[in-house]
Amino acid sequence: MPLPSFNPVEYSAQLAAKADRFRADFAALGLPEPAIFDSEPLHYRLRAEFRMWHHDGRIDYAMYDPAEPGKPVLIDEFPAAAAPICAVMPRLRDRVQASETLKRRLFQVEFLATQSGELMASLVYHRPLDGQWEPAARELAADLDIRLIGRSRGQKIVLDRDWLLEEFELDGRHLRYQQIEGSFTQPNGGVNRKMLAWARAQAVGTGADLLELYCGNGNFTIALAPLFDRVLATELSKSSVGAARYNLEANAVDNVTMVRMSSDEISDAFAGGREYRRMRGIDLGAYRFGTLFVDPPRGGLDEATLRLAGRFDNILYISCNPATLRENVEALQDTHRIGAAAAFDQFPYTPHLECGLHLVRR
Ligand SMILES: C[S@@+](CC[C@H](N)C(=O)[O-])C[C@H]1O[C@@H](n2cnc3c(N)ncnc32)[C@H](O)[C@@H]1O
């Protein structure tokens, strides 16, 4: 896949072609007409990372075309990135270039922005960070008015905090989300809000209790919780579970129990497998689960999780990989039909498409 070119004139046609492919790929599985949710055509990415290329006494941002992996493509701008990232990129490069301490063996720069206006950059080095780095970095952070983190092998220097606070309105609620550096967060903030609204619309009326797997920092959990009596939410990553707990409190959501468990562990617990210390005090039998919400990584659902899914009347499935989504829906064909579908264009100008399905027990 070559590096994308960002031409808003081509955007609508590209999205239409992706949606057609989605329809065609799922036609045999009884896909209803999907709702199509577009992205902003530019400045839609809240995360962007670049290698730093050192040459002729200067440094430049670089990306790699997978078709020519040995050859850096030097870039001055990255129009997919959120406007605050675009604005700070040249200023950060010039300031780093002017400081030997900040520049030496700088390998990569990772930006994270929020729609609420916060911005963080992580400077990743191929050398241990010494006592001179921190004062230079503090000056840089103050000049650019951003949060800054320095990383090197086995070393992480956080100047103040390693997270941002995202805030936005959703269906009349003001939501707050801690987003931790290095942990998963949805890259396209505008499209994420459309995914949350779609998921909420699908969940209305499914009632009873919700089981959520792969909940990350509670992105969907916080949005969906008021529509259910009780929610059991699970996630593998320790830092994401920490953020999710923070977010439950920050949003005054009190009907969610959060457990750090992998999808196969929670599937095993439901199947009456071994006893899990992390499940102590949680009586699975006392829940009245009507809905399962899953948003797995690209690999989709494993066998044990598919068996667990088959027990639910409603499965809300958000997927960043239509190929594994299709395999999983095929495996559930005997018990579930597709009640509603959506395509979310998280990744404009690439072939990737995020999909949402509401699977309903036959
Ligand atoms: C696509 S992200 C979705 C996160 C969240 N729903 C959101 O919207 O931000 C997938 C999440 O699954 C978690 N994960 C990966 N493998 C897992 C596993 N085997 N069991 C449970 N969670 C897993 C990752 O840490 C990540 O947070």
Least Cα distance to 44 among 8, 80, 4, 97 occurs for 80
User: Catalytic annotation on 320?
Assistant: yes
What is the arithmetic mean of pLDDT over 339-358?
A: 97
Substitution candidate for ligand 1 out of 236, 258, 344 with most atoms within 8 A of CB: 236
Given the residues 181, 265, 354, 355, select the one marked as catalytic.
354
Tell me the pLDDT tens digit for each residue of 141-192. 999 999 999 999 999 999 999 999 999 999 999 999 999 999 999 999 999 9
Pocket test for ligand 1, best of 114, 179, 214 (most atoms within 8 A of CB): 214
Active site residue 354: yes
Q: Which string of DSSP letters, residue by residue, matches 92-128?
A: HHHHHHT-HHHHTTEEEEEEEE-TTS-EEEEEEESS-
Confidence class of residue 1 from pLDDT cuts 50, 70 and 90? low
- Which residue has the least CA distance to atom 21 on ligand 1? 262
Number of the ligand 1 atom closest to the C-alpha atom of 192: 8
Mean confidence (pLDDT) of the chain: 96
Q: Which atom of ligand 1 is nearest to the CA of 237?
A: 25
ipTM field = 0.99
Supply the residue whose CA is at minimum distance from atom 4 of ligand 1. 216
Q: What tens digit of pLDDT does each residue of 246-298 get?
A: 999 999 999 999 999 999 999 999 999 999 999 999 999 999 999 999 999 99
| Residue nearest (by alpha carbon) to ligand 1 atom 11 | 214
Task: Report CA(244)–ligand 1 centroid distance (Å).
Answer: 12
Ligand 1 is surrounded, with C-beta below 6 A, by 184-186, 213-217, 219-220, 235-237, 240, 262-263, 295-297, 320
pLDDT digits (tens, 9 = 90+) for 256-266: 999 999 999 99
The rounded Å distance from CA 150 to ligand 1 centre is: 25
Strand runs labelled E in the chain: 35-37, 47-55, 58-64, 72-75, 106-113, 119-125, 147-152, 155-158, 163-170, 173-180, 209-213, 231-235, 256-260, 289-294, 314-319, 336-344, 354-361
298 alpha carbon to ligand 1 midpoint, in Å? 10
**Structural domains present in the chain:** 8-41+185-361 (3.40.50.150), 47-163 (2.40.50.1070)
